[in-house]
Each structure stands twice: as structure tokens, then as C-alpha cells.
Amino acid sequence: MTAPQPPDAPAPEPAPRRRRDGAVIIGPTIPARYRPGALIGLPLVSVLLSPFAGAGLQQWRAARLRDGHDTLLEQLLAPAAMQLLVGALLLWALFALWAVVPLLMTHRVVLLDESAETLELRKGVRSADRARLADVDHAVGEPDRGSMALVGLRGRDRDGAQTLRQWVVPEVGWDAASFDGLRVLQAAAGLRPAPPRRELVAENRRRRIARSNHELADRLGMPWRPEYEYDEAAFRAEFDRIRRVLGGQEPPQDGDPEGW
């Protein structure tokens, strides 16, 4: 059960990532996105492909032995288990190196210098655009992974007409620190800061579950009660009872749907 917090409940202070110079990072850093894949995904792939790497090491060792080389390295690679282990480690290192390239190419964050009240859009390792904090018109984003943030900036064109350009920050909901950077920007720009990512993710999950439960209730003709929006256990208990009623295993009560 996830109940909404009271409106006057104080939200936790944002804890964004910062650069060494103190600039707030809006969006995920390369290490933040790289670490889960390098420590979880790539090792699994390397283990699955280790027999191919082990076979290659076996051929390399056999060629070395035919040429008269019998050093400590060839002796260590004699067991098949050692060949598989070394092959997996080599594949892991190779894949980890390759994974950095697309991350560098797609990396995009916004840096907020609170003391100078300036913003900088970073694409990869270069600076793509700059703006003043006073030019921020809006800064919105979703807390879920795969979402993005939009930072609207006011400006003027060559004719002096008012313009509005937008910066796109991908994966702003990657983790709490990435989303907290957006919250700091909202507060610094005089906008209403979003709630913490944890609360928004929990609320989105509650809404998805409530929507799914509402569809299940409609299929059975089960009356929907307001408390089911926040109390999944109460809905499940009533839903199971209605199913037993429709299946003839329990006598119906007033307001229950008729059996099939």
C-alpha cells in the first residue's frame, strides 16, 4: 500500500552529483550509466562467450608450444578451466572498452554553476551551448528510466523577437542523483521543484497498478471503491471473493455481480 504524503510534508533535500568545481550535473554521468552494464551485463555476456575465447587461447597455446615456447604463461593456460577463465576476462575487458564509445557519443548533460548563475549544455566531451539561469522558462522531466528532461530557454533572435529554445537531457530519471540535479535547477530558476524521484516512481507504480486493477474489476463487473486506488491488498481480497462467488464456491452478497 502506497499512500500519498501530506501536502505539508517536507521533501528531502536534493543530493545531485557535482563536478570538482561545484557545478551541479543535471542528468546521469558516464560512470553512472556505465557501471551497471560493466559490472552486471557484460560479465554475463563474457561468460556465455568464454568457450569461443577459450578455444582461441587453446589454439594460440598449441602454436606457441610447436614453436618451442614453454614459459610460465603456456603452463598456466594448460588447464581448460584456466583457458575459459582467462577468455572470459579478456572478453569482459574488450566489451567494457567498446561500451565506452557509444556512451561518449550519446552523453548529454547540463551543468549548473550556481555562483555564476549560468548553464552549460555538454554533448560528449565538448560544450554545445551556454545560457543564463535567468533565461530558464521551464525545466520538466520524468523520473522513470528512459525518460528525458526539457529545459526551455528564453532568448531573442536577430530582429529582437522573443524566442524559446529547448535543451534535451536524456535519461534524467536514471537514478535519484540525476533527477535531483533537475530539482536543483528548478529551485534555482524560481520554479516549483519536483518531488523526490523515489516518491514519483512509487506514485507512477501505484497508478499503473490501480489502472490494471480497475480493468480487472470491470471484466468481472466488480464495483470499484475509492480505497482500491491506494490499498491493493483490499482490492485483491475483494477480487478473490468475487471470483469465488462467480465460480459458485461462495454465496453472493448484495451488490455482487451475477454468476456466468
55/87 same-domain check: yes
26/137 same-domain check: yes
At residue 67, the pLDDT reads 86
* Rounded distance between C-alpha atoms, residue 216 and residue 231, angstroms: 15
94/214 same-domain check: no
Burial class (CB in 10 A: 0-12, 13-18, 19+), 185: buried
Whole-angstrom CA distances from 118 to 83, 134, 135, 189, 212 are 54, 8, 9, 11, 44
217/178 same-domain check: no
Backbone torsion region of residue 119, taken as left when φ is above 0, otherwise alpha when ψ lies between -120 and 50, otherwise beta: beta
Instruction: Please check whether residue 255 lies inside any domain of the structure.
Output: no
Question: 126 is in which domain, residue-wise?
Answer: 14-195
| Nearest by Cα to 236 from 226, 246, 228 | 228
At residue 10, the pLDDT reads 66
At residue 8, the pLDDT reads 53
At residue 40, the pLDDT reads 87
Instruction: Please check whether residue 257 lies inside any domain of the structure.
Output: no
Q: What pTM did the predictor assign?
A: 0.75
Instruction: Please check whether residue 9 lies inside any domain of the structure.
Output: no
Segment (H or E) for 115: none
* Rounded distance between C-alpha atoms, residue 101 and residue 106, angstroms: 9
* Rounded distance between C-alpha atoms, residue 241 and residue 51, angstroms: 53
At residue 1, the pLDDT reads 39
Q: Which of 195, 215, 233 is the last residue of a domain?
A: 195
233/173 same-domain check: no
> Per-residue pLDDT for the chain (260 aa), expressed as one digit of tens each?
344 445 455 667 889 999 999 999 999 999 999 988 888 888 899 999 999 999 999 999 899 888 888 888 888 888 989 999 999 999 999 999 998 888 888 899 999 999 999 999 999 888 999 999 999 999 999 999 889 999 999 988 777 788 899 999 999 999 999 999 999 999 999 999 999 999 999 999 999 999 999 999 888 888 888 898 888 899 999 889 888 888 878 888 777 777 55
54/183 same-domain check: yes
Instruction: Please check whether residue 208 lies inside any domain of the structure.
Output: yes
Query: Count of domains in the chain?
Result: 2
At residue 68, the pLDDT reads 86
* Rounded distance between C-alpha atoms, residue 41 and residue 11, angstroms: 34
Residue 215 C-alpha cell reads as 480493468
